Amino acid sequence: MSSFFRHKVNYVIEVIEAISLKKVSIVVPVYNEEENLREFHKRITEVMSKEPYDYSIVFVNDGSSDNSAVILNELATEDKHVEAYLLSRNYGHQMAITCGLDNAEGDAIVTMDGDMQHPPEIVPQLLRLWEEGNEIVITKRMATEDAGFFKNLTSSAYYKLINAMSKVEITPGGSDFRLMDRIAVDAFKQYRERARFIRGLVSTLGFKVAKVEFVAPPRFAGHSKFNLHKMLHFALDGITAFSNLPLRWAFYVGLIFGMVSLVLLGHVLYVRFFTPDAVPGWATTTASVLFLGAIQLVGIGILGEYIGRIFEEIKHRPLYLVSRHIKK
């Protein structure tokens, strides 16, 4: 009887502690990360178990084709702190993060990748800055140990380009490793566009922001799933979501070459009616037509990209579909 009573007392104490503690949710998008999941779970658990918070680890499986879903099911069964959302198909990294943010219940939510390039050991720094009153704590990669020269160069050029075009400043070297207070997450959840560039969306929120700099280590295992096609698509989403400057550039370029064409037309008419010279310039004419045609196609392509985005938005389809929620 005394053992039963002691068990009940301990249970009540645990419930009271859980109610009094702030809760932190760790959101982790997963795509073919079977080699990293257990190591990530081990390291983030070691970190969070030392912190004075209740916590949950929210994995979002983005249609993985390996054994990631099986491992997530095992982790959720073994650890009460783990839950997993299995998306019905591959929706992309940004949608997976969105799903996690939509469903995380913490007072603070940390989003990070599970390949250890976002070191779990940095999470306590984010939490300290949050406790100091910052509603958003972003991270900035000062370097990536296994990144090549070309990737570093293109990344730097991209952030310079998008900041020159956008009214919202996006931190160069920024990542999706960040902490957001509940009030910031609730504000973010009101943004439901499909072409999601979360780094930019977070920058539009405002709130009090702090920054942590870090050096990203190499992946624990496997290889990056961000190929050239995905990176270009991601970059285009960022530009079209936060700037209409390409449309203006297309207009200005068309206006300039329209004026040049009028000048050339005047020259042709002058030669035709006021000089005895023939106009042999078939090569010049062909080159001009091809060049102006290329400019027109570029303008039409830019316009088509924006129209395509509008078409996707007005259908109001779900951002993602969850096939299964796993929780102990």
Return the CATH number at 165: 3.90.550.10
Residues 303, 323, single domain; the answer is no
pLDDT of residue 164: 60
Assess if residue 94 is contained within a domain. Answer: yes
Are 189 and 314 in contact by the 8 Å Cβ rule? The answer is no
Mean pLDDT in order along the chain per 10 residues (328 residues): 59 54 92 90 92 92 90 91 93 91 93 88 92 90 61 61 62 80 93 81 86 75 55 57 62 66 64 62 61 70 72 79 89
Residues 194, 92, single domain; the answer is yes
Residues 204, 258, single domain; the answer is no
pLDDT of residue 44: 93
pLDDT of residue 230: 55
Assess if residue 296 is contained within a domain. Answer: yes
Amino acid letter, residue 9:
V
Residues 258, 210, single domain; the answer is no
**pTM, rounded to two decimals:** 0.69
Domain that holds residue 185: 21-225+319-327
Assess if residue 236 is contained within a domain. Answer: no
b (16+ CB within 10 A) / e for 195-233: bbbbbbbbbebeeebbebebebeebeeeeeeeeeeeeee
Residues 323, 308, single domain; the answer is no
Count structural domains, the chain: 2
Assess if residue 129 is contained within a domain. Answer: yes
Residues 65, 210, single domain; the answer is yes
Residues 271, 291, single domain; the answer is yes
pLDDT of residue 29: 94
